[in-house]
Structure 1
Amino acid sequence: MSIAWPTEDPDAPRQRSHKPWKWPAVAGGAVIVVIAAVAIWTPSRPEAGSPAAVITSVSPTTTATTTTTTTTPPPPPPPPEVFQGKGDDVVELKRGATPGIVAFECPKCTGNVVVESDGRESLLVNTIGAYTGKHLINLADGSMTTSISVKAKGSWKLSVTGLDAIEVVTGKPASGRGDSVIMFADTFTSATVKNQGKGNFVVTYADLSTKRLGLAVNEIGSYQGTVKLPGPSVVQIESSGTWTITAK
């Protein structure tokens, strides 16, 4: 369980262009469907008086051919990368272009807190004071994050995991506080979104059916409304308060 997001739908608050995204390797999300077709042929009965076939071989030889199909499983996601530090620092990642989730914790930070990647997502965190939240990286097609820079006054912890560690929501509303990453497993076309906060509120998604990225909400302050947000999908929420997303 990326998402700089490409352009969203025409009815979204701001315009960007859609770009293909990388299919995330979520645990339990890969489904292989095999369809077998069997053709049966029944020879017609020869009519009386018809000539017999010329026998050219008394002992015909039959050769059986066996075809073996080998399915190569997808490679496992890279192991989690965990970094701890204090103050400004730059950490190097080994996951390359593999989509992932960045979790940053700085519960006692003071002053400006900035977390940036060198991938297409770029600015992940830009706040003041204590912070705890999650962000997607490498979900947009062509994005590859090799390092993340941290500017903070205080001790912090940064971890990068694969999408297999994503929170999966099914059969119920999703709710939380602050910046979060979730995956809706159900099928739907829209959702009612609520937010209680004073800062920017942004909801972006990756449609798992169309493999496209989209912008559902881009507002400032508290918000409530029903928007186009398809499922199943991977969703990034950026909020300074509490939020709820209910599939319709």
Structure 2
Amino acid sequence: MTIDPLIRLHDVLCELPNLTVAVSGGVDSLTLAFTAARVVPGFSALHAVSPSVPPAATQRVKDYALRHNWPLKLIESGEFNDERYRANPHDRCYFCKSNLYATMAARSSGPLASGTNLDDLGDYRPGLIAAKEHGVRHPFVEAGIDKATLRQIAVQFGLADIAALPAQPCLASRIMTGLRIAPEDLEFVDKVEALLRDHVPGDLRCRVTADGVVIEADHLPTTATALAAAQCQKAGRIFLGHKPYQRGSAFVLPDTLEADQHHG
């Protein structure tokens, strides 16, 4: 007999009293938090405010917490104080998540959980190593739930505003590996993507490379191209034009210099 995924998720969550969910502002963590708030005694949510997190994501978390009466704490995870993270090596995500989960674990009275799902396990994600080191639970994984299923759960709960949210990795994923992570670059990336969002359907990335700025999208209308070029000129950056969206194109592995296709 096939057990409903939501029932499996409830079974996992009910074994985690005083659970704290790390909420980034995407569909995964928000759906997990919404579910946990309904069934977990002592549930709470934590959100890290950082230059690498789009302000719109932070606002979305605040809105959800207010709307659904979640106990929410906003924290600073401190990754920008870590030179290993700022250097932007191929395993940057490990240092980011190490800082994040260490800070969150210190603020949690019970277990800590992330919105990681089954699809994430096939990616190159050094952050999962950091999660394991800090004892972070992954209820979606434990319940056998992938991205498509968790989106269905969001729809089932009537969370239409997040169910179809596109994947939004942290803003640092737009910076080519090896280029130092600077808050002003992340602010620029977020500003450009927010400006173009209404003009570009589907996936959209503003990539910062050693040579200049590239806009990646399956289709970039002339109006959006002009907007991007104007923003680059205003910021004193070189605009290299448009390329088709390629997942992980800003990420390069050491030695091979091959792009890993499992990053934003």
Higher RCO (CA < 8 A, seq sep 6+): 1
TM range (shorter): under 0.3
TM-score under structure 1 length normalisation: 0.23
Q: Which has the larger radius of gyration?
A: 1
TM-score under structure 2 length normalisation: 0.22
Q: Which structure has greater strand proportion?
A: 1
Q: Which structure has greater helix proportion?
A: 2
